[in-house]
Amino acid sequence: MRDKMRSLDTNIKADFIQKDRTENGTPHSAGTADSRRGRGNETKDSQDRRGSRSRSRSRGFAFGRGPSSPGKKARPESGSSFHRPRSVDLSQPVGVYTTLSAAGSTASLTDAAAVDTAADPSDFVHYLREIQKPEMIEVGKIHKLRLLLRNETVAWVNGFIMEGGMDEIVQLVYRIMKMEWREDHEDTLLHEALLCLKALCTTSIALAHLTRIEAELFPALLKMLFGEDKKGPSEFTTRGIIINLLFTQLSALAPGEAPGTRAKRILSYLRDPSPEDESQPVAFIANIYQSRPYRVWCKEVTNVTKEVFWIFLHHLNVIPLPKGGSQMEDPFTEKNTSGETTPYYQRHFPSARPPVPAAPYVGGVEWDATNYLAAHLDLLNGMIASLPTVDERNQLRDELRASGFEKVMGGSLRTCKEKFYSAVHECLRTWVAAAAADGWPYIAVREGPPRGGDPGSPTKSPKKAPGSPKKGALEEKPPKLELALDFPMSRPPAGPETPSSDLRSWL
């Protein structure tokens, strides 16, 4: 109604105000004497007045109609004291609004605020302790808890942690992971519980508590995620929350803590599980082979590229190099040759990306998969940037390359569309910039594996259609067999010393 009133002509608005003054000439205080009537009669009269007034308003907005029919009698007013209760006094100037009963409206607002107040944190803690079976827990209850943890004050979140709410959420995650078979209800419940943990990690108390329990929580989550029995969640969004928790733990440094300490601790969780003692090879045999400690982690990334293989089509993509990049003298603490004093950790640690506006390509399996891959690359880049020396960083790069990361980064991740999946390309640019600063060979990731015809590339001989030209190689002539009785026309021309007259005499 207000939108329609704004678009009306000023003369029509003035006419409405004039009619309102005429109909309600009695001041507002005239009705105070009769305000002690019973609630039943007052409700009935107010409903009658509202009905008649709404009908008169609707006639006012019917611009195409004529005046109301003269044969219909107007509803008589029951008295001058029973005027229409109004929420806005139109007789006031524009911008000044007076309510009929300010005290009553204030009381109603206070009651509404009391109803809308967030529930006590102890209610959720009691609910999580009371119901131990995941299949009996309401997903809506955990979803509401997640919204409160994200939007409530820090004091509310700290109170929830102090009463043991964070421990209850972690125990709920453990109970869901131990289930033999999870239905859709349990998968959704796991998703909401992990989001609750992520929302809790916005406070310092929760981060300190997560540091105390990470040695047990993160290996259990990664075992569920990377396990061969495929008991991990199927949705890319749920799997990405686990990697985001690891990245949050990596980036949330305690005061005075070195970044490399936390990075090495997280790398120990991501290493391949060590085989049993009887399966261990002999020491001198183990020293022959190159160490590949992150094959299971790399396999998780490679499997995603195989599941959504149809988006990795742009094989000519090249990751750009940073402008003005140069070799660092002391890349972690001191300035480089150009006078830059920013530490290596701050320059090459992944930064937060801005939200992506709505677009046709946002959402869907491809979008979730590439965001999941970007979460892995952010974790990888963050751990490389956290190590203090060039030797340690290059040693980690060597282990990651041996495990297959550079192959999947340059062979598949580079070939997705940069416009649609910018997060992956931003992670690859961060990796290339950090590798260039440390003097690490980055061509395989920046430009992809060497193509056919390049030096050092394996030569293949695919079957081609007859008549198709070869690329990058000269066309060889087939071998010829020279016979003694061959025709002279097919032989090369004879030299001056070769007698050719007697050869042509027999034709």
Asked if residue 376 lies in contact with residue 411, where contact means CB atoms within 8 angstroms, the answer is no
Q: Which residue has the tokens 């032989």?
A: 491
Question: pLDDT at position 171, please?
Answer: 95
Q: Return the structure tokens found at 261.
A: 């300490």
Asked if residue 403 lies in contact with residue 291, where contact means CB atoms within 8 angstroms, the answer is no
Question: pLDDT at position 273, please?
Answer: 82
d(C-alpha 153, C-alpha 144), whole Å: 15
Question: pLDDT at position 220, please?
Answer: 94
d(C-alpha 107, C-alpha 87), whole Å: 15
Question: Rounded to the nearest 5°, which phi and psi values hold at 503?
Answer: -75, -30
Short-list 382, 283, 390, 383, CA closest to 333 = 390
Q: Which residue has the tokens 């980036």?
A: 251
Q: Return the structure tokens found at 342.
A: 């920013």
Short-list 402, 368, 478, 385, CA closest to 438 = 385
Short-list 401, 405, 360, 373, CA closest to 309 = 373
Mean pLDDT by 10 residues, the chain (507 residues): 75 84 61 44 47 41 42 44 39 37 41 50 93 93 94 93 94 93 92 95 92 94 89 91 95 86 94 69 63 91 94 92 56 45 87 87 90 96 94 94 94 94 95 94 91 49 50 60 56 53 55
d(C-alpha 166, C-alpha 200), whole Å: 8
- pTM check: above 0.75: no
Q: Which residue has the tokens 């006639």?
A: 59
Cβ atoms within 10 A of the Cβ of 11, count? 8
Question: pLDDT at position 363, please?
Answer: 85
d(C-alpha 448, C-alpha 130), whole Å: 55
Q: Which residue has the tokens 């010393």?
A: 497
Short-list 416, 370, 401, CA closest to 294 = 401
Helix (H) or strand (E) holding 243: helix 236-251
Question: pLDDT at position 7, please?
Answer: 77
Residue type, 316: L
**Domain range annotation of the chain:** 121-252, 293-356+368-446
Question: pLDDT at position 400, please?
Answer: 95
Question: pLDDT at position 405, please?
Answer: 95
Asked if residue 260 lies in contact with residue 387, where contact means CB atoms within 8 angstroms, the answer is yes
